[in-house]
Amino acid sequence: MPEAGTMHGADSRYAWMRLAATLGLMTIGSAAMYVIAVVLPAVQAEFGVARADASLPYTLLMVGFGLGGVLMGKLADRFGVMVPVLIGAVGLSSGFALAAASSSILGFAIVSGLLLGLLGSSATFAPLVADTSLWFVRRRGIAVAICASGNYLAGAIWPPIVQHLVETGGWRSAYNTLAVISAVAVPLLALALKPRPPAAVAGMARAGSSAQPSTRPFGFSMNQAQLLLCIAGVACCVAMAMPQVHIVAYCTDLGFGAAQGAQMLSLMLAAGIVSRLVSGVICDRIGGLRTLLLGSVLQGTALLLFLPFDGLVSLYVVSALFGLFQGGIVPSYAIIVREYFPPAEAGARVGTVLMCTLFGMALGGWMSGKVFDLTGSYDAAFVNGIAWNLLNLGIVLLLLWGVRRRLVAAA
């Protein structure tokens, strides 16, 4: 394997070219989790089901996404990242095609969970982030931030495209188009990922940090601290899912139309790209825990703004603010684990917390639909999201209090 600075070394020109391919793969692979929000009204109308039932495909997709990330990560560790990405190409292309052929909401939901989530999108998220971290040393932070932004870039690009496809040919035609794109583009981009990471970089990653970890992060036992972070991850993402999953349906109910809702979703996630990159800079200055606190406060504020402002222009503004406020929340959990837990356990603990954030998105997507079905209004769903956000905020404040208490005791 060439040394750093050569064609296939760390921080080399090839590493940046590989990052571009990785960004493209994540942008295509993450499409499934966003297009469901766009087709939700059409799917609900065609199958004649309640809003909660129409939200089930998104819920199962996110559950599969979370579980599949662990499986695909292990495959990448053993065989290289190209192997799980090729599996993901099969999962995405077959999943979109079979979803388009579904005759019931249950069949659509199962395909979304197993093929699009477990075997598809999961291969183009966590394994690509981990692989990118092995190809960079001097610019690792910005490289990982760019890679992770592909998830939000998908949310900015695909909703308006899919909405146009739905309007011109129906949601089934849109899904068949995505099947073709996945079958062609993903394998071609995967070929750029064939070389394994530089041995020296991979070795450093396995060795971890030499810093001595705390045996009681935040003043709690390891398991207690892990559990609190997991609950916080679920809570913040239940709140986060409300606008992301239901903004198209919400705009349709208000009489603005699905096209405007798709544009708002695209705007929200485009702002999230900016938020994700800026939050990385903020994390370097104030730490992951305080960055999470800032994101939690701002996300709760944006959710509150959805209640009094339901005009067309104001919804565009609030959607943009929501994207700017919440984009850095999920990455901050990885920084927190690296700061407060043993480096040797970082992979497993980060994976567990991020899986909980995905489960939170899955639960939030379904729960918001259920609250709407019970009340006939999205106002109650927004209030439900705010309540979960307050739970997240309370846990973060508790963890900060634990850190401060330990500092005082050590002084």
Domain extents in the chain: 1-207, 208-411
Average pLDDT over residues 4-12: 65
Alpha-carbon distance values, 223 to 70, 216, 348 (Å): 20, 9, 13
Segment 266-290, tens digit of pLDDT: 888 889 888 888 887 787 778 789 9
Q: Would you state the pLDDT for residue 155?
A: 82
Nearest to 319 by CA among 371, 250, 369: 250
Query: What is the pLDDT of the chain when averaged over all its residues?
Result: 85
Average pLDDT over residues 254-264: 87
Q: Would you state the pLDDT for residue 348?
A: 62
Average pLDDT over residues 240-250: 88
Instruction: Count how many residues are written for the chain.
Output: 411
Q: Do domains 1-207 and 208-411 have the same CATH topology?
A: yes
CB atoms within 10 A of CB 71: 17
Query: Rounded to whole angstroms, how far apart are CA atoms 154 and 190?
Result: 18
Q: Would you state the pLDDT for residue 344?
A: 54
Residue 182: pLDDT over 90:
yes
**What is the reported pTM?**
0.73
> Mean pLDDT lowest for which of 13-22, 269-278, 381-390?
269-278
Query: Rounded to whole angstroms, how far apart are CA atoms 260 and 181?
Result: 25
Fold category of 1-207 in CATH: Growth Hormone; Chain: A; (1.20.1250)
Fold category of 208-411 in CATH: Growth Hormone; Chain: A; (1.20.1250)
Residue 90: pLDDT over 60:
yes
Segment 325-361, tens digit of pLDDT: 888 888 778 778 767 877 556 556 776 787 888 889 8
Q: Would you state the pLDDT for residue 343?
A: 57
Average pLDDT over residues 115-122: 94
